[in-house]
Amino acid sequence: MMRVGLALACATVLAACSSPDHPAAPTAAPAAMASSAVASAVPAAPVQPAALARYDGYGDMHFGMDEATFDRAWAGELKVTTPAAGSSCISKRPQWVKAPTDFAFMFEGGHFVRYDVGTAKEIAPGGGKVGMSEAQIGSLYGDRVVEQPHKYVAGAKNLRIAAAQGNAVLLFETDATGKVTRWRVGVPPQVDYVEGCG
């Protein structure tokens, strides 16, 4: 009799545990769902915008494009310089450029061949920018940097870095203290025109 009473008591307790008033213990699934909900609540790393400055061009514009194709790809208004007598070299600057030395696209023979940057707002391919030291450029580009004396400024240098593929070149200009004052990317021979279209 005692055994029957004990069995009935156990059955009653078990039934009470799974009754609507006392829900059964949670299974592993809600715990797994909770941990995945926490994981999805953690913000993902921000997506970095694609770099505009590249060894093969800038944004949607690639070296070698003719002017008409370039202008369509740019899809914005550009200020155009008048070529010197007997020259086919011109520069185009976006409307937002305040100083002519801040940013310009170079064309020669009707094709996009180079762009020049004189502001720290733009980042060169590989991470260099205006204001960096020669040592910082060396740490970014390593033994690819070829030093050349600046044509006009005593003690200043040109730091020339050839692209890993293709024939384009990135060239940083420094002042006499070794600080980058401007940089440009282009294809030879235009990338080496010290005076630009000058």
pTM: 0.74
* Average pLDDT score, the chain: 82
Q: What sign does the CA torsion over 29, 31, 36, 41 have?
A: positive
**Confidence at residue 50, expressed as pLDDT on a 0 to 100 scale:** 56
For 44-75, the pLDDT digits (tens) are 544 444 579 999 999 999 999 999 999 999 99
User: Do the beta carbons of residue 90 and residue 99 sit within 8 Å?
Assistant: no
- Strand-pairing partners, residue 61, are 58
Per-residue pLDDT at 38 exceeds 50: no
**Confidence at residue 190, expressed as pLDDT on a 0 to 100 scale:** 96
At the topology level, CATH places domain 53-192 in: protein yfey like fold (2.60.460)
For 126-147, the pLDDT digits (tens) are 999 999 999 999 999 999 999 9
**Confidence at residue 40, expressed as pLDDT on a 0 to 100 scale:** 46
Specify the higher pLDDT residue, 175 or 9. Answer: 175
Tell me, what amino acid is at 143? D
Structure tokens at 109: 């023979």
**Confidence at residue 86, expressed as pLDDT on a 0 to 100 scale:** 84
pLDDT band at 39 (very low <50, low <70, confident <90, very high): very low
**Domain ranges for the chain:** 2-41, 53-192
pLDDT band at 17 (very low <50, low <70, confident <90, very high): very low
Specify the higher pLDDT residue, 37 or 94. Answer: 94
